[in-house]
Amino acid sequence: MALKATIYKADLTISDMDRGYYDSHSLTIAQHPSETIERMMLRIAVFALHAGEYMAFTRGISDDDEPDLWRKNFSDEIEEWIELGEPDEKRLRKACGRAAKVWLYSYGGRAADIWWQGMEGKVGRFDHLNVFSIAPETLAELAALCERSMQLNATIQDGTLWLSSEKGSVAVTPQRLYGSGER
């Protein structure tokens, strides 16, 4: 018998002072059986960093043709492709060919550092790619905020996201590895 996704609900209030974006989102997040709590919470944090009209979670891990999040326009063109992890060059090339902007958030600690050393020289031709690294300690702190039903507040200023709930607060500061990083 196949394992089913675990469903989480999050009411997310966002105050993004960097972009002047202020809104609330009621999110339903399906955690794939192979996905960790840390990765799922990182998806929520990245959603907050890029939130806007038409930003959506996709099937992600369940579908090789989709990123973790994306923003499409009315013509079904992908404006933003947002990926988590350490994809291979072929996947990055595909993403850059399909989307106007590509965002990659690497989170694997030492393994991610080794991955980036191998990829750094291969991404120079992708001018609309942005690569960031998230510290492993940050992932653990995000996981501590997780509940099946969450009330989350996100404040973004000077490139740092503060994600908080009644369980505590976490500062998420993505380290830019490549690209302009402008949202």
Cα separation, 38 vs 98, in Å, equals: 28
The answer to whether the pTM exceeds 0.95 is no
* Domains of the chain, residue spans: 6-178
Pairing mode, strands 129-133 and 99-106: parallel
Alpha-carbon distance values, 116 to 25, 88, 122, 139 (Å):
33, 10, 10, 19
Q: Rounded to an integer, what distance in angstroms lies between the CA atom of residue 48 and that of residue 85?
A: 18
One pLDDT digit (tens) per residue for the chain, 183 residues: 567 889 999 999 999 999 999 999 999 999 988 899 999 999 999 999 999 989 999 876 666 778 999 999 999 999 999 999 999 899 999 999 999 999 999 998 888 889 899 988 888 888 899 999 999 999 999 999 999 999 999 999 999 999 999 999 999 999 999 987 666
Based on its alpha-carbon atoms, the radius of gyration of the chain, rounded to whole angstroms, reads 16
- What CATH number was assigned to the domain covering residues 6-178? 3.10.640.10
